[in-house]
């Protein structure tokens, strides 16, 4: 039977394009991206684009086969499982008998899907799985045969006697006879009719709800050896081989063979998956706009610039600072955790060393997480580029795993290559992208629709909820209601240029009102919303964006380097109706009080000529201040932590040096011990969208064969030296190819 490596050279560009469109992870690997490119064929350090031969060899690997299987919809996966159950092949008549819920067209479509994924041999019968495909497909249950091989011959004979079946002489034949008996509806019915009420109840629970903990079944602990509870319900079922027991996890399950027997001899009974789902519904209309995720990220970076987060002892970012930042910014903890993870992967967050403690083996280096120098480059990029970069990083991340919910911590040194998470995101985005423009699926139906579309990765419990939460956090789908890509969300999957083409000309005017609110239009320019996010709190993003000026946010902005003239000048420049007098009074008052409280290093002290203002500062519990005199207080916190605690409470203090001179916020960073940026690289990662499937398929089919091996001088007789020279030549070629692939910032080719 030919394998994928033999088949691919005979495929045309159209067939390869269809395969790449339905299995995005293969398209990623073809351009040197994604989890498949981490191990094949060039290794994690020099992933490169593939030619036709390389792509063919990739498809022949177990990893690629796994991704092909993961991409199957519900009917195709069920048909493949049915083929595995029947030894790897099916006739159309047998499939028709086992799948009564499918009509002829649906049955043929499921078989064609398996052919299109290169999982079957089209020259052998109606449906014959490749051995590599059969090995990658899990059955919807656990067969009894592997466990029965560990049962002694005499016990197998006793089980066959209890089921009323003849006993063959050889052990292998006894196992086959027992498996056949379990799959026979008449034999199973007689066995079930003869069960005690307790055993019948346990079997019913296992058949309806799957494996169960033994204690949840009301049964005693089941020991692996020695004493047996012969009068228990589980012992009765075990004697008939209707169930199996996992002694380690103390689980009891019905064998798949038993389930098939109960279902009348069919693997899926009368409920063969159809993949049918409700029709899409129209999404609410509205003008395309950028989502608030960029404002949230800017606010998060500003928060951790003023108040760096303590790193965990192993170097990660813990739950506590993530939740503290979420509380300060008015966001959800998981949402901040996702943004922190993506920012760290892009290089916007890095670790800084703040000092050491202890001696010898107890010596410990203290680190904090703070924005890196790349933030300046990041802010110079267009908003569309930044959004596309966030989505692209999420889409391809092998370190992030949000399958059990969005993370509230970041562990940069965890050795994770979560291929399932990448496959899940790919399947989810493909599901949304295939919906008609402007349409979505009702939120109550999206779980069933997603499971039918990609059963293995989106059918697992909690997967769809995790994908929906991440998509809403990134602004790909509306914040509530039907689930479907927004106009801008659909465009961002094609890159920043497509996003900018869908957006109207940005508006840079706002309305500053006397109630301290600022109203920005839905299409406000990104620099406008970024500025407002630094000085005011977002109250509403439904339609027009409503911000509210607050002493706390103004104090934090001034602590980060802004001043009252800058803020008022910006508001006067961008406000359509001028700046109300009370707004100007608020900003001036916060600025006036900022210079009246000063922090220094003692551990840290606070001084002010305004005794009432100093008393207010002492009342901030997080600052841990103790009043020494009417105008002086001291704290056990460092100066940076003291300033951060006061800023959170709306007290705008400034730092001063030993001579009483004010230290600007930018210079305060250099005052930290051993301050340095770690792991930021030379620049932002290039945004390289994967070419469309048709273009990529044409690339793979052009030229055809791999390059020949480099030529080595014939006068080198030593075989080891010849191999060394050959390896050196191959490395040089790889570097040249990688260099040519890196030319340009928007496309790989």
Both tokens assigned to 475: 């602004």
Specify the pLDDT at position 681.
44
Which string of b and e fits 304-335 if b means at least 16 CB within 10 Å?
bbbbbbebbeeebbbeebbbbbbebbebbbbb
- Name the region of 704 (left: φ>0; alpha: ψ -120 to 50; beta: rest): left
Specify the pLDDT at position 662.
72
Return d(Cα 639, Cα 625) in angstroms, integer: 12
The yes-or-no verdict on residue 194 having pLDDT over 80 is yes
CA distances for 95 relative to 81, 133, 315, angstroms:
11, 18, 55
- In 3D space, the residue among 683, 678, 607 whose CA is nearest the CA of residue 642 turns out to be 607
Specify whether the CB–CB gap between 301 and 224 falls below 8 A.
Answer: no
Specify the pLDDT at position 5.
57
The yes-or-no verdict on residue 748 having pLDDT over 50 is no
- In 3D space, the residue among 676, 675, 663, 677 whose CA is nearest the CA of residue 559 turns out to be 663
For 501-510, the pLDDT digits (tens) are 888 777 788 8
For 624-659, the pLDDT digits (tens) are 888 888 888 888 777 777 887 888 788 878 888 766
For 6-38, the pLDDT digits (tens) are 666 677 888 899 999 999 989 988 888 877 876
Both tokens assigned to 288: 């395309």
DSSP string, 377-426: HHHHS-HHHHHHHHHHHHHH-SS---TTS--SSB-TT-----HHHHHHHH
- In 3D space, the residue among 413, 410, 401, 394 whose CA is nearest the CA of residue 320 turns out to be 410
For 90-143, the pLDDT digits (tens) are 999 999 999 988 889 999 999 999 999 999 988 888 999 999 899 999 999 999
CA-CA-CA-CA torsion sign (198, 200, 203, 204): negative
Specify the pLDDT at position 675.
28
For 151-169, the pLDDT digits (tens) are 999 999 999 999 999 999 9
Return d(Cα 294, Cα 299) in angstroms, integer: 9
- 571 vs 354, higher pLDDT: 571
Specify the pLDDT at position 735.
55
Return d(Cα 643, Cα 306) in angstroms, integer: 9
Q: What's the gap between Cα 555 and its chain centre?
A: 36
Phi (first) and psi of residue 205, to 5 degrees: -65, -45
The yes-or-no verdict on residue 705 having pLDDT over 50 is no
The yes-or-no verdict on residue 533 having pLDDT over 90 is no
With a CB cutoff of 8 Å and minimum separation 6, the contacts of 47 are: 32, 33, 37, 38
The yes-or-no verdict on residue 719 having pLDDT over 80 is no
Say which DSSP state 216 is in: G
Q: How many CB atoms lie within 10 A of CB 24?
A: 24
Specify the pLDDT at position 4.
57
Q: Which residue has the tokens 């001034």?
A: 558
- 48 vs 491, higher pLDDT: 491
With a CB cutoff of 8 Å and minimum separation 6, the contacts of 414 are: 316, 399
pLDDT band per the 50, 70, 90 thresholds, residue 595: low
Least confident range from 46-50, 192-196, 244-248, 662-666: namely 662-666
Rounding to the nearest 10 degrees, give the CA dihedral for residues 569, 524, 390, 30: -130
Specify whether the CB–CB gap between 439 and 263 falls below 8 A.
Answer: no
- 498 vs 711, higher pLDDT: 498
Q: How many helical (H) and strand (E) elements, i.e. helices and strands, does the chain have?
A: 37, 20
Specify whether the CB–CB gap between 468 and 446 falls below 8 A.
Answer: yes
Q: How many CB atoms lie within 10 A of CB 387?
A: 26
Least confident range from 320-334, 457-471, 682-696: namely 682-696
């Amino acid at each position: 039977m030919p394998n994928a490596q033999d088949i691919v050279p005979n495929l045309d560009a159209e067939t390869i394009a269809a395969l790449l469109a339905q299995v995005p992870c293969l398209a990623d690997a073809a351009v040197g991206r994604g989890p498949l490119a981490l191990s094949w064929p060039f290794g994690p350090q020099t992933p490169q684009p593939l030619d036709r031969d390389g792509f063919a060899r990739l498809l022949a690997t177990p990893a690629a086969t796994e991704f092909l299987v993961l991409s199957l919809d519900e009917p195709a996966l069920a048909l493949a499982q049915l083929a595995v159950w029947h030894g790897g092949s099916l006739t159309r008549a047998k499939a028709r008998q086992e799948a009564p819920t499918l009509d002829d067209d649906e049955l043929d479509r499921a078989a064609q899907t398996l052919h299109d994924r290169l999982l079957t041999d089209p020259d052998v019968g109606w449906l014959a799985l490749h051995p590599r495909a059969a090995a990658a497909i899990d059955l919807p249950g656990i067969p009894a045969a592997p466990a029965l091989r560990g049962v002694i011959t005499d016990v197998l004979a006793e089980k066959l006697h209890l089921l009323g079946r003849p006993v063959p002489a050889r052990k292998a034949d006894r196992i086959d006879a027992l498996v056949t008996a379990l799959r026979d509806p008449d034999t199973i019915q007689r066995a079930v009719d003869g069960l005690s009420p307790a055993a019948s109840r346990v079997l019913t629970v296992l058949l309806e709800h799957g494996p169960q903990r033994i204690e949840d079944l009301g049964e005693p602990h089941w020991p692996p050896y020695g004493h047996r509870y012969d009068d228990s319900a589980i012992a009765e079922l075990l004697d008939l081989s209707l169930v199996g027991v996992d002694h380690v996890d103390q689980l009891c399950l019905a064998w798949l063979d038993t389930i098939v027997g109960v279902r009348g001899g069919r693997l899926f009974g009368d409920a063969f998956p159809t993949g049918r789902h409700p029709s899409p519904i129209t999404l609410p209309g509205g003008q395309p706009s950028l989502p608030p995720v960029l404002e949230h990220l800017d606010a998060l970076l500003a928060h951790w610039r003023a108040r760096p987060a303590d790193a965990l002892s192993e170097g990660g970012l813990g739950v506590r600072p993530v939740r503290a930042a979420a509380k300060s910014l008015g966001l959800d903890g998981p949402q901040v955790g996702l943004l922190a993870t993506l920012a760290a992967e892009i290089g916007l967050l890095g670790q800084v060393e703040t000092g050491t403690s202890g001696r010898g083996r107890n010596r410990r280096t203290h680190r904090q997480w703070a924005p890196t120098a790349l933030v300046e480059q990041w802010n110079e990029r267009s908003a569309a580029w930044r959004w596309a970069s966030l989505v692209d990083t999420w889409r391809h991340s092998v370190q992030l795993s949000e399958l059990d919910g969005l993370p509230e911590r970041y562990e940069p040194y965890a050795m994770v290559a979560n291929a399932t998470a990448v496959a899940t995101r790919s399947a989810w985005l493909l599901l949304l992208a295939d919906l008609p423009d402007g349409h979505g699926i009702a939120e109550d139906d999206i779980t069933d629709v997603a499971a039918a579309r990609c059963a293995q990765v989106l059918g697992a419990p909690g997967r769809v909820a995790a994908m929906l939460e991440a998509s809403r956090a990134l602004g790909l789908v509306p914040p509530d209601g039907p689930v479907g890509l927004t106009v801008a969300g659909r465009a961002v999957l094609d890159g920043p240029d497509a996003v900018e083409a869908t957006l109207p000309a940005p508006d840079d005017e706002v309305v500053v009102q006397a109630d301290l609110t600022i109203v920005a239009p839905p299409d406000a320019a990104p620099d406008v919303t970024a500025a407002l996010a630094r000085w005011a709190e977002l109250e509403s993003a439904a339609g027009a964006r409503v911000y509210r000026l607050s002493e706390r946010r103004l104090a934090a902005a001034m602590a980060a380097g802004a001043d009252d003239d800058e803020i008022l000048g910006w508001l006067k420049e961008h406000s359509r109706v001028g700046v109300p007098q009370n707004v100007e009074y608020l900003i001036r008052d916060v600025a006036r009080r900022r210079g009246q409280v000063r922090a220094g290093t003692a551990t840290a002290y606070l001084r002010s000529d305004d005794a009432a203002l100093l008393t207010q500062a002492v009342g901030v519990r997080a600052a841990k201040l103790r009043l020494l005199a009417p105008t002086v207080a001291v704290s056990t916190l460092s100066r940076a932590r003291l300033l951060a605690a006061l800023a959170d409470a709306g007290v705008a203090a400034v730092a001063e040096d030993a001579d009483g001179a004010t230290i600007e916020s930018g210079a305060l960073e250099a005052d930290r011990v051993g301050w340095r940026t770690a792991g930021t690289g030379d620049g932002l990662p290039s945004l390289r969208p994967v070419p469309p499937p048709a273009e990529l398929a044409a690339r793979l089919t052009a030229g055809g064969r791999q390059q020949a091996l480099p030529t080595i001088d014939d006068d080198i007789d030593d075989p080891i030296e010849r191999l060394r020279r050959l390896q050196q030549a191959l490395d040089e070629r790889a570097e040249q190819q990688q260099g040519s692939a890196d030319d340009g910032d928007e496309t790989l080719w």
